[in-house]
Amino acid sequence: MDARRDVFQAIADPTRRAILGMVANQPQNVNALAEKFDVSRQAVSLHVKILHECGLLTIRQQGRERYCEGRFDKLSEVAEWIEQYRKFWNSRLDSLEQYLNQIQTKTDKP
C-alpha cells in the first residue's frame, strides 16, 4: 500500500481530510482520533501513517501515546496549483489579492 504518495493523493481521501481537521487545533493521539470514526483503530492508524509520510502531520511520542498535530505547509503545493486556475473560474479577478478584496468588501458591508 505504498506507491504514489503525494499531498494531492493524501487529501483525496475524506477520512484523511477529517483527521487533518481534527488535529488542526490541538494534537490528538491515535486512539482519540479513532474513536471519532466508524472504522477501526487500525484503519485510522494507517491514515495517520500516510499523512505523516506526506508531511501533513507530525507525531510526538509521549509515553505510549502518539500525539498527531497538523503540519499544513505542504498544502501550499496544492494551493499553488489551484491558484493558477483561479482566474478561470473567477474571470473578472485575476489574483488572490483581488479575490480577497472582493470577499472583504462583501463581508464588511453591513
Partner DNA sequence: AATTTGCGCAAGCATTTAATTGCGCATATA
Partner DNA sequence: TATATGCGCAATTAAATGCTTGCGCAAATT
Quick check: 5 binds its own copies (CB under 8 A)?
no
Query: Is residue 46 close enough to count as binding DNA by CB under 7 A?
Result: yes
Distance (Å, rounded) from C-alpha 12 to C-alpha 14? Answer: 6
- Residue at grid coordinates 495517520: 48
Site for DNA, residues 62 to 101, rule: CB under 7 A: 62-66
**What distance lies between CA 35 and its chain's CA centroid?**
19
State the binding partner of 54 from DNA, its own copies, none, CB within 5 to 8 A by kind. none
Which of 68, 78, 88, 89 is CA-nearest to residue 12?
Answer: 78
Q: Does 60 bind its own copies (CB under 8 A)?
A: no
**12 lies in the binding site for its own copies (CB under 8 A):** yes
Least Å distance between CB 68 and DNA?
A: 8
| Nearest-approach distance from CB 28 to DNA, in angstroms | 8
Q: Is 68 helix (H, G, I), strand (E, B) or coil?
A: strand
